[in-house]
Structure 1
Amino acid sequence: MPLDALCLSALARELREALIGAKIDKVQQPERDTILLTVRSRQEGSKRLLLSAGTGDARCHFTEAAFENPASPPMFCMLLRKHLVGARIQEITQPPCERLLDFRLESSDALGDNVEKHLIVEMMGRYSNIILTDGAHYILDCLSRVDMLMSEKRQLLPGLVYRLPPQTKRIPMELTGEELSALLQNAPQDRPADKWLTETMAGISPLVAREIVFLSSGDTDTPVAHFCSQGAREVLTQAFFGVLEKATTGDAAPVMLIDGSGKPRDFTFMPIRQYGGAMEAQGMENFSQLLDRFYTRRAQAERMRLRASTLTKTVKNAHDRIARKLSAQRMELAKTEKRERIRQLGDLLTANFHRIEKGLSSVRVEDFYAEEGGETEIPLDPMKTPQQNAAKYYKEYTKLKNAEIMLTEQIVLGEQELEYLKSVLEALQRAEAESDLVEIREELVQTGYLRPQKSGQKVKRPESAPMRFQSDEGFLITVGRNNMQNERLTHKMAMKSDIWLHAQKIPGSHVIIATGGREVGEETIYQAAVLAATFSQARGGGKVAVDYAPVRNVRKMPGGRPGMVTYTNFKTCIVEPDEALAERLRIK
C-alpha cells in the first residue's frame, strides 16, 4: 500500500523525537528519485535518513540498507549539498491529512548569517517530489520540475512560491460526529462503504477504510445503505474516530501483514482484523524499520532488474540459441545410431558382387547378420556399379561414425555452455549494486557474448568484494556474487584448508568457510550450506542438496568458463534456503 496520511502522522511523530536539533553531515543521491541524508545528533548518534519520491514507493524513514552512489553526483544533489550540509533540523510538520513532510532547517549563508530553508517531501504516488525552498517558501529547486504544460493547476519551478497541493476531500480531523453522520445520510446507498470513505475523506488508505467498515459491520463489503439507521451510523462513527485517535496520538503501533508464503503484503499503524487468519500481523520496533523492510529491498531488486534487463535479454537470447542448437545436434546424433546397419549393408553387397549387375535399383540377398537368417532388400543406385554402391554405404558409415564423435563432443560443450549461461542469469537476478552488473558485463565481454564498449580511456575499476557473513560459532563465511567473484574467491582468495560449498548441480554462488586452521563445527557447516542454497537458483524454497569439500579438492574445469569447477572427496548435506538467517549472519 502507499504510505497514507494517517500512517505518515505516526511516522512524523517518531522522526521528530530523533531528528529535532540533528545536524546534516552528508547529502547523497544514489538513485534518480532517492535522497540520502546522513544526520547526527547527541541522543541518536549518526543515522541515515532516506527520502524517496518513487512512484510506487515514496517514503521517508531511517534506513540501514547499503546504497551505491553514482560516479558523479546529479545537479540536484549538488544543490542540496550547498544548502543543507551543516544545517540543523528545527521542525518537522505535516499539513492536516497531507502526504507530505516539511523539514524546517537552519543553515548559514555565504556571509555566515543564519538562514531558514525548507526541505519538503511530497509522497503522493506519481506526483511525488522533493522540493527545496527558502524561508519565504520560494522554490530554489525540486527533484522533478513541473511546468504549465505538465500541470495547469500547480507548477513547481525555481523562483515560484511553493503552495500545498489542492485538497478537494474532507479533512477527517476537522469533522464532528454529527457531520460524519450527515455525510453518510447523503451518500449513494448502493456504494460500498469503504469506497465512499476513500473517495470522501483525505488521508485514508483502502486498507484503513476497509478496517473501519469491518469494525462497524463485521464485513468489508458492506454498502452505505447498511448505515442508514442511527444506531449503525453511531457504530461507524465510533470506529472512524477510534482509528483517527490511534493515528494522531501515541497509540499507533507499526504492523506488517505477512501472507501465507511469508512475503510482506501490507503495513499499517494498528492491528488489522479484517483478514482473520489469512494474514499474519508482525509487529515492528518502529516505523522506520517497518518501511525499510517493506520497501527498500524490494525497490532495490526492482531497480536492479530494470538495469539488468539489457544484459538479461542478451544472455537469454544466447541461452535459447544454444538450446535450439543442442536440440538439433541431439536429433543428428540419434541418426548415427543406424550406422552399424549401414556398414552391414555394405558388407552384404561386397559378399554378393557376383550376383549384382549394374542398373539394378535394389537387390535381395541373404542377411547373414540377422539372428534368424532370411533375406533383406538393399536399395541401389542404378547409375553405379556394385562396387560403387558398396563404397557409398561404407562412406556413409564412416561419415556417421565421425559425426557421432564430433556431435558427442559438441553436445558436451553445449551443455556446459548452457549451464554457464544459467549461472550468469542467476547472478543477474542476485545483483545488488551497479558494480555487480559492471562485473557481469566484463565477464560477458571476456567470454565473447558482448562487444567491448568503445571509450577513449580505459578506467581500471577495483575488484568488488564478495558478501561476508559470520557464523554463530565465529567463522567468517564469504559468498561470491557472480562467476568472476566465484573464480577469485575459490582459486585466489581461499586457503587450501578452507571449506568450499556449492548447491549440487544447479547454478549458484561459491561459499567459502575461512577455517583459520581451526576445526569447523556442524553448526557453521549447516549455516554455510543454507547460504549456498539461499544464493542459488533454488532459493525459492524446498530442500536443496549442498556439496562441501576442502578447497584443496576443488579444481578449475579445464577449458571451462569462469566459476566452473570439478571437485572430489566431498560430502553432501540437505538444507532449506533461509533469507532471514542470511540477513542475520550478514556483516553490514
Structure 2
Amino acid sequence: MAFDGIVISNIVSELKQKLTGGRISKIAQPEPEELVLTIKNKKDTYRLFLSANASLPLIYLTQEAGLSPMTAPNFCMLLRKHIGNARITDVTQPGLERIVRLELEHLDELGDLRQKSLVIEIMGKHSNIIFCDGTKIVDSIKHVSAAVSSVREVLPGRDYFIPNTTGKTNPLAADKTFFSSLFSSGKNIAAILSGNFTGISNVSAEEIVYRSGLDSSLAAEACTLEEQTRLWNAFSGVMDLIRTQQFSPCIAYDNNEPKEFSAFLLTGLTEYRLQTFDSISEVLYTYYNSRSAIARMRQKSADLRHLVQNLIERTAKKADLQRRQLSDTDKREKYRIYGELLNAYGYDCPPDAKSYEVFNYYTDQMMTIPLDPTMTAKENAQKYFERYNKLKRTFEALSTLTVETENELAHLESIMTSIDIAASDIDLDEIRRELGESGYIKSHGPKGRKDNRRKCVPYHYLSSDGFDIYVGKNNYQNEELTFKFAQGNDIWMHAKKTPGSHVIIQTNGREVPDRTYEEAGSLAVYYSKAKTAPKAEVDYIERKFVKKPAGAKPGFVIYHTNYSLVASPDISSLKLISGGE
C-alpha cells in the first residue's frame, strides 16, 4: 500500500483547494486515536477524517460523521476550546514528508487573533496528531515520552520538530548531479529511489522505473550513462507532476479486490485493472473500506474456515486410506483362480510342495501357485477361497464407502468455496446452517417450525449485452437458484470438475450472445476454486437438462450432453447490481 509522500502531496493539494478559508464548526473524537473535523467553507460542508492508529493511519475527506462518545476525550475538549471556530488559513506539507499541517487562525479569550497549527503525521506506528502553538506542543492525541523514544518527546510544552532519522533527501529539491551520485550503490535502481528520497514508496519507485523503460532489478552501479539519463527523466517527470499538482488518483484492482493505490497512474501494473477517481479522498475511502470489509469477513469466517479445513484434511486422509485398501483388493481374483486350479489339478500335487505349476485355462499359459507345505492341495485351495471371499467383501464395502467419502470431501470443499465467496454475516449464517444440518456442528436452528431468519441473496450481475446473470453464494442458494428461480430455457453454468457456484443467465426467451456466455463463464471461474488459475473450463447447458439425484447433498447436480467453454476469472467488465453487501 503506497501511502507515501506523493499521496500526501495529493491530499494536501485537495485540502488546500477545498478547506482554505473554511471554519471548523465541529470536532469529534469517535475513537481514541481518531478525529473528525467538520469544516464549513462558504456554502459547502466538509468532514476531514484523521487517524493516528498505528496499524492504519489515514487522512481524507469523507461524508461519514462517525459516532462520538457521550463524554468527549480530553484531547477533543482541548481542541474544541482552542480551535472550535478557527479558520483554516493554509494546508502545507514539509518537503515530501508524510506530514500534513493545518494552519489555523482563531480568537483567544481576550479577543486577540492567534495562530495555531494541527500537525498530522502519517508514519506507521509513529503516527500522531499534534496540536502546536508556534514551535511549542500544546498537546497530542498520543503522548511519547523519553522512555518510549530517544529521538523526540511528544509532550505538552516540548518543542515540535521533524526528526531526520532516515537521512533521506527531498526529491523535489534533488538535481541531476546528486541523482547521478547515487549510482555507485550496489542496490537495484528501484531500491535507490525508495531508499534515498523521502516520500517515495516501493510502489512509486517501481512505477518511475517502469516509465523509464528499465528493469527495476538492474543494479545501479551497472547502469550506463544513457540508462541513468532515462531514469532521471522519468524521475523528474513525476516530480514535475507533483509540483504542478497534476495528479491522477487511481486504484489497481485484481478483479474486484483492490491491491494498490496511487496519486498518479500505475501504468506498470499491467496485470491489474486501473480505476481512476476524481479525488484522492475518494480513492482512500474506497480502498480502505474495501480492504477492511475483506479483512472483517476473513476475521468473522476464521472459525468456520478452521473447522471446515480440519474436516477436509480428516476426510481426505480417510479417502486416501480407503483408496489404498481398495487397491489391495485387486488381487482377489488371483486368489480365486488359485483355488479353482488347485481344485481342478490338485490331485496330482506332491505332498510337502512349496509351489505347484499348473495350466491356467483362463490364459492358456502355465502358472506357478505358491503353497503352504504343511497343508494339502485341497486345504491350500480352501485357504485361497477364504482370502478371495474376504477381499471380495472388503471390495464391495469399500466401493460404497469410497464413493460416500469422496462425495463428503467434495461437499466440504464446496462449503470452503462458499466461505471464500461470503460477503456478509447473513451469508456466513447460512453456511453455519448447512454445517449444522449436515451434522458437522451442533445446529441451533429452529426445529419443527418455520425458519424466519433472513436469507442471503445471490450475486446479481448485468452483462455488457444487458442480460441478468445470477451467482449462488452457497450450496443451498445454488440449489434454490437452479431449481426454483431459473426457468427451463435459462442457461446454467458451472466450473468444470471443481467446487464453485451455480451461474444462471436469465434469457427471457432471447438468444444469448457470445460475449454474455464469456462473461458468465468468467463469473463461474471467479466464484470457484479455480479462481487463481489464469483460465479454466466451464460447463454450460440449458437449465431443464440439469437434475438433482435423489438423496444428494445440497447443490449437487448431474447433467449430460453439455457444452464447454474456456474462461478467465476476469469479471471487471460486469456490473454488480446486488448481493455484494
* TM-score normalised per structure 1: 0.67
Is residue 2:399 matched to residue 1:403? no
Is residue 2:496 matched to residue 1:500? no
Gaps of 5+ in 2: 106-114, 446-450
Change (3 A) 1:199 1:446: same
Aligned-pair distance for 1:401? Answer: 1.5
- In structure 2, C-alpha distance between the alignment counterparts of 1:360 and 1:500, rounded to whole Å: 69
Residues 51-70 of structure 1 deviation map (CA, whole Å, 9 limit, x = unaligned): 67677875445799x9xx9x
Is residue 2:567 matched to residue 1:575? yes
Residues 425-484 of structure 1 deviation map (CA, whole Å, 9 limit, x = unaligned): 333444445554454445444434456799xxxx98633322221223433322122334
Aligned-pair distance for 1:198? Answer: 5.8
Match runs of 1:145-544 below 5 Å: 150-151=148-149, 166-167=163-164, 172=170, 202-205=198-201, 244-254=239-249, 268-269=262-263, 284-288=276-280, 297=290, 301=294, 304-305=297-298, 308=301, 311-351=304-344, 360=352, 362=354, 364=356, 366-367=358-359, 369-372=361-364, 374=366, 376-380=368-372, 382=374, 388-433=379-424, 435-450=426-441, 462-494=454-486, 498-515=490-507, 517-522=508-513, 523-544=515-536
- In structure 1, C-alpha distance between the alignment counterparts of 2:463 and 2:125, rounded to whole Å: 43
Q: What is the root-mean-square deviation in Å for CA atoms of aligned residues?
A: 6.0
- In structure 1, C-alpha distance between the alignment counterparts of 2:38 and 2:502, rounded to whole Å: 35
Change (3 A) 1:331 1:513: same
Aligned residue number for residue 14 of structure 2: 14
Aligned-pair distance for 1:282? Answer: 6.2
- In structure 1, C-alpha distance between the alignment counterparts of 2:229 and 2:549, rounded to whole Å: 75
Aligned-pair distance for 1:202? Answer: 4.0
Contact 1:187 1:224 in 2 (8 A): no
Contact 1:103 1:119 in 2 (8 A): yes
Gaps of 5+ in 1: 107-115, 228-232
Aligned-pair distance for 1:96? Answer: 1.6
* TM-score normalised per structure 2: 0.68
Aligned-pair distance for 1:540? Answer: 3.2
Aligned-pair distance for 1:93? Answer: 3.0
Q: Counterpart of 1:364 in 2: which secondary structure? A: strand
Q: Counterpart of 2:412 in 1: which secondary structure? A: helix
Change (3 A) 1:394 1:295: same
Aligned-pair distance for 1:151? Answer: 4.0
Which stretch shows the higher mean deviation, 574-583 or 238-247?
238-247
Aligned residue number for residue 108 of structure 2: none
Contact 1:25 1:40 in 2 (8 A): no
Aligned-pair distance for 1:123? Answer: 2.5
Change (3 A) 1:491 1:18: farther
- In structure 1, C-alpha distance between the alignment counterparts of 2:415 and 2:477, rounded to whole Å: 12
The letter of the residue matching 2:320 is S
Aligned-pair distance for 1:393? Answer: 2.3
Aligned-pair distance for 1:413? Answer: 1.9
Aligned-pair distance for 1:513? Answer: 3.1
Contact 1:498 1:514 in 2 (8 A): yes
The letter of the residue matching 2:3 is L
- In structure 2, C-alpha distance between the alignment counterparts of 1:78 and 1:550, rounded to whole Å: 62
Residues 469-511 of structure 1 deviation map (CA, whole Å, 9 limit, x = unaligned): 1223433322122334324433455455644321222211112
Contact 2:258 2:291 in 1 (8 A): no
Q: Counterpart of 1:531 in 2: which secondary structure? A: helix
Which stretch shows the higher mean deviation, 496-505 or 238-247?
238-247
Aligned residue number for residue 124 of structure 1: 123
Q: Counterpart of 1:478 in 2: which secondary structure? A: strand
Match runs of 1:107-146 below 5 Å: 122-128=121-127, 131=129
Contact 2:172 2:239 in 1 (8 A): no
Residues 549-588 of structure 1 deviation map (CA, whole Å, 9 limit, x = unaligned): 4444433444433322223564434433323123577787
Q: Counterpart of 1:252 in 2: which secondary structure? A: coil
Q: Counterpart of 2:530 in 1: which secondary structure? A: coil
- In structure 2, C-alpha distance between the alignment counterparts of 1:355 and 1:176, rounded to whole Å: 103
Change (3 A) 1:308 1:79: farther
Q: Counterpart of 1:539 in 2: which secondary structure? A: helix
- In structure 2, C-alpha distance between the alignment counterparts of 1:461 and 1:146, rounded to whole Å: 49
Change (3 A) 1:105 1:306: farther
Percent identical pairs in the alignment equals 29
Match runs of 1:544-559 below 5 Å: 544-559=536-551
- In structure 2, C-alpha distance between the alignment counterparts of 1:218 and 1:338, rounded to whole Å: 64
Contact 1:254 1:286 in 2 (8 A): yes
- In structure 2, C-alpha distance between the alignment counterparts of 1:76 and 1:53, rounded to whole Å: 21
- In structure 2, C-alpha distance between the alignment counterparts of 1:218 and 1:543, rounded to whole Å: 30
Change (3 A) 1:571 1:204: closer
The letter of the residue matching 2:91 is T
- In structure 2, C-alpha distance between the alignment counterparts of 1:501 and 1:118, rounded to whole Å: 60
Contact 1:189 1:225 in 2 (8 A): no
Which stretch shows the higher mean deviation, 528-537 or 440-449?
440-449
The letter of the residue matching 1:203 is G
Q: Counterpart of 2:494 in 1: which secondary structure? A: strand
Match runs of 1:77-88 below 5 Å: none
Change (3 A) 1:58 1:478: farther
Which stretch shows the higher mean deviation, 499-508 or 484-493?
484-493
Change (3 A) 1:50 1:373: same
Residues 52-111 of structure 1 deviation map (CA, whole Å, 9 limit, x = unaligned): 7677875445799x9xx9xxx89799979x999xx99975834424424467999xxxxx
- In structure 2, C-alpha distance between the alignment counterparts of 1:88 and 1:479, rounded to whole Å: 52
The letter of the residue matching 1:125 is G
- In structure 2, C-alpha distance between the alignment counterparts of 1:241 and 1:4, rounded to whole Å: 17
Q: Counterpart of 1:420 in 2: which secondary structure? A: helix
The letter of the residue matching 1:13 is S
Contact 2:273 2:572 in 1 (8 A): no
The letter of the residue matching 1:330 is R
Aligned-pair distance for 1:531? Answer: 1.5
Aligned residue number for residue 99 of structure 1: 98
- In structure 2, C-alpha distance between the alignment counterparts of 1:213 and 1:504, rounded to whole Å: 41
- In structure 1, C-alpha distance between the alignment counterparts of 2:157 and 2:433, rounded to whole Å: 47
The letter of the residue matching 1:338 is K
Change (3 A) 1:205 1:321: closer
Change (3 A) 1:477 1:118: farther
- In structure 2, C-alpha distance between the alignment counterparts of 1:137 and 1:533, rounded to whole Å: 56
